[in-house]
Amino acid sequence: MENLKGVRVAILVDNGFERVELTEPRKALEEAGAETKIVSPQEKEVRAWETKQWGGQYPVEQRLDEAKPDNFDALLLPGGVMNPDHLRMNPKAVSLVKAFFDAGKPVAAICHGPWTLIEADAAKGRKITSWPSLKTDLKNAGADWADKEVIVDQNLVSSRKPDDIPAFNREMIKLFAEKAGKSRAA
């Protein structure tokens, strides 16, 4: 297990994120020593989606309006259909995602999470995977889309679906340790 001690990870979500795509990667990050914060445009709580119905609510630990990219070393973008659809229409969310890419910080996106990458102009020229319904959107944005369990391209790791979470977590932790760990040591 890679050491992420001192690495601060923003988990950007809005209502309708797929619960397991937040909880399982978060658990893996924290077990590796990372500090995580749920960042959201919602005031106090953000609501999860549980496969085909609403799931539990999770406390917002950092309001999107107050989130500063300099306060984080890495970014996690869970999927779910509603969540990234809301985020990609929110200029502050798009700006936050773009700031991570502009700074060369590592980003992990799963399922529908890459939708927000398109709006942040971060998909072009990258190898990427996602939920299959995003294939055309990502290709139209200039990405090289592939149907693979996990893809790492520079500072981005992406996966397709909840079944890919073990591989996603493994590669996310490796990438965050390599990229975010170096920036923390510098």
Question: What residues are labeled active site?
Answer: 112
CA pair distance 129, 91, nearest whole angstrom: 24
Q: Are 13 and 83 in contact (CB under 8 A)?
A: yes
Q: Are 107 and 77 in contact (CB under 8 A)?
A: yes
Handedness of CA 69, 70, 72, 75 (dihedral sign): positive
Instruction: Work out the widest C-alpha separation in the chain, in whole angstroms.
Output: 44
CA pair distance 41, 96, nearest whole angstrom: 12
The answer for 21, left when phi > 0, alpha when psi is -120 to 50, beta otherwise, is: alpha
